Each structure stands twice: as C-alpha cells, then as structure tokens.
C-alpha cells in the first residue's frame, strides 16, 4: 500500500492518494530499508522496493506510479548494489535521481516522453560514501555527503 500525504492549508497533512495491489509472498518481496519515495509535479510517484529471487539475490527496484492511472505500475531494476537512500524528481517531473548507500548516483529519464519507459544513461560514483540527500539545481546536481568523511579521497 502506498499512503502519500500532501501539505494542506494550515500546515496539516491531507491524505492525497492510497493504492493497493496484490500481495506477494514474503520470499520474493521485501521493502527497502529505508524506503525512498518522491512525488513529481506530473503526479508520478517513485518509490523503492527490493525483489528477492529464489536463490535469495536482491534486485533493488524503483517503481513509478502514475496517480491518474494507478493500475499501470512500472518497475525499473535500478542496478544499485546497496539500498537506495534517496529519490528526487527534477522540476519538469521527467527525470529522476536515485542514490544509494554505497555512493552510486543514477539519473533516470523518460524515453520518448513516456511514463512507462525509463533509461539511465548518466551516473556518478562517490565510492564508499553513502549519499544521504540530493536535489536538483537549475544547472546540475547538489550532493550532501557525510561530514565525517571530509578528509576522504573523494573530497579532493
């Protein structure tokens, strides 16, 4: 179930959307810890979930849900090695950043302007440094890294 709340007048949160889908067995589906979730200006919701195969391998998935067509859930195998720690939409809602606990960042773009077709052609790696937050600037990406690792090689 996806329960997302948007700020309403007066600072209170109103329930904006709830979606439910069939339950998968616990052997194949496990929520990402921590769960990352982001809502775009195009009313697309991106959230993470891990998929466990029969031989116990984890595939870190990013799911894209169009709130106007909630029955069309699109799933992307993210190829992140570690847990996805953040998701962030750009201002147009057509590109999505994903980052993980191992410092890998990917930029996902809509292929042919379709919400059910995504590709990642750009990425970066801040090796060994978990990405704790990121956001879009008008000219690129801003990263927030652990201040404890300031003396690390990735800051040079």
Taking only the tens place, the pLDDT of each residue in 15-61 is: 766 656 555 555 555 555 567 899 998 899 999 988 777 776 788 88
The total number of structural domains that make up the chain: 1
Is residue 115 in a domain? yes
Domain, as residue range, for 109: 27-123
Question: Whole-angstrom Cα distance, residue 122 to residue 106?
Answer: 6
Question: Whole-angstrom Cα distance, residue 16 to residue 38?
Answer: 14
Q: How far is CA 12 from CA 7, 8, 74, 101, in A?
A: 6, 5, 31, 32
pTM score: 0.67
Is residue 42 in a domain? yes
Is residue 87 in a domain? yes
């Amino acid at each position: 179930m996806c329960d997302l709340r948007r700020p309403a007048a007066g600072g209170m949160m109103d329930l904006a959307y709830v979606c439910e889908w069939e339950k998968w067995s616990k052997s194949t589906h496990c929520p990402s810890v921590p769960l990352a979730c982001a809502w775009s200006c195009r009313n697309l919701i991106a959230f993470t979930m891990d998929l466990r195969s029969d031989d116990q391998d984890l595939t870190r998935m990013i799911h894209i849900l169009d709130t106007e067509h909630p029955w069309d859930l699109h799933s992307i195998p993210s190829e992140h090695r570690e847990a996805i720690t953040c998701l962030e939409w750009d201002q147009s809602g057509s590109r999505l950043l994903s980052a993980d606990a191992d410092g890998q960042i990917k930029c996902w773009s809509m292929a042919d302007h379709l919400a059910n077709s995504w590709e990642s052609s750009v990425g970066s790696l801040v090796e060994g440094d978990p990405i704790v937050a990121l956001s879009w600037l008008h000219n690129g990406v801003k990263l927030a890294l652990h201040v404890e690792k300031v003396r690390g090689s990735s800051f040079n």
